[in-house]
Homo-oligomer: A and B are copies of this chain.
Amino acid sequence: MIKVGIIGYGYWGPNLVRNFNALDNCKVICVADARAERLSLVAKNYPTIECVTDANDLLNHSQVDAVIIATPVFTHFDLAKKALQNGKHVLLEKPMASTVAEASELIEIAAKKNLLLMVDHTFLYTGAVQKMKSLIDSDAIGTLRYIDSTRINLGLLQPDINVLWDLAPHDLAILLYLNNLKPYSINATGISHTKNGIENIAYLTVNYQENFIAHFNCSWTSPVKLRTFLVGGSDKMLVYNDLEPAEKLRIYDSGFEVKNHDDRLKLMVEYRAGDIHIPQVSLHEALKEMANDFITSILEQKVPRSTSSLGLEVVRILEISQQSLKQGGKEILL
């Protein structure tokens, strides 16, 4: 029975408490939040959970085995470092840290202390992403050619991080999970309508040395909500629409093959536009699977699906994208 403490009871905290509490081999015993009104919600719904306003009380709590950190990104490093130093396993909300340096240091400490450090990239646990992964791994899609993601809506502008740091981690984690190619360089463009230099619209291109490209369109200021993730392969193409209540994934038996590369003006391309297949994908709650993976990985000392090294690569792309944004979209090598 793993005893869990959760720091941060804002938007995501209640979901974490509910899902970790629903597991058999785990118990949430303490929640920390500086805001009294948030703690009173915990007390009302979970009278047996201990509430503390100072996160240090949780980090030093003798009974806590694992700490879940659901606070703003800029606080992640300090909290996680203390937790690891105190011998606690750590689950960090995404993105795991503000810089590559911070993320790397946390990974190092965890390794030294032989503790689990995991990042909550919840989307890796959805039925649709699992289905895409198995299709790609079984070579049903052919050679991957591109990923194109649109994640836009009328969202809450964050005061401290731009729209890429807020929205792109979901899709970057999926990108990194679906294939093993190593990104080569980054371009990012965007705009801030708030005069604080924090972009609310941004476009990110991730270039590869292989014949593959990934592009991410992120916005907090779209009148429509879109969550469209295209995967182009040489044999089949996928469209993952997370807003569809049931038909989240479509497999298009479409593609094209280039037959003649020699003569520029005699380009011969064979097109194929065939049937569409909509597989049933599991509609379980992904957060519950993630919670279970965290606890099971502690108990069985196994590597979780959502590793800290994947989390680090997400932070690396974000960090570089910010440099590119500040240099007019210049290509920056990873």
Contact = CB atoms under 8 A, between A and B. Distances in A.
Contacts of A145: 191, 193, 221
A191 B217 contact: no
A217 B219 contact: no
B154 A254 contact: yes
Interface string A228-245: 001010000111000101
Given A187-B187, A223-B239, A280-B274, A261 B196 contact: yes
A277 interface: yes
A329 B329 CA distance: 7
Give me the 3 closest cross-chain CB pairs, A-B, nearest first.
A223-B252, A328-B331, A223-B237
A276 B278 contact: yes
A213 interface: yes
Report the interface size class on chain A: 35 or more
One complex includes copies of this chain to the number of 4
A156 B270 CA distance: 10
A293 interface: no
A274 B196 CA distance: 26
A256 B154 contact: yes
Contacts of A201: 146, 148, 213, 215
A203 B240 CA distance: 20
Nearest to A324: B329
12 contacts: A145-B221, A154-B256, A191-B211, A193-B258, A194-B261, A196-B261, A223-B237, A223-B239, A223-B250, A275-B279, A277-B277, A328-B330
A205 B266 CA distance: 31
Contacts of A211: 191, 193
Interface in A92-119: none
Contact of A256 (B150, B221, B230, B247): B221
A148 B189 contact: no
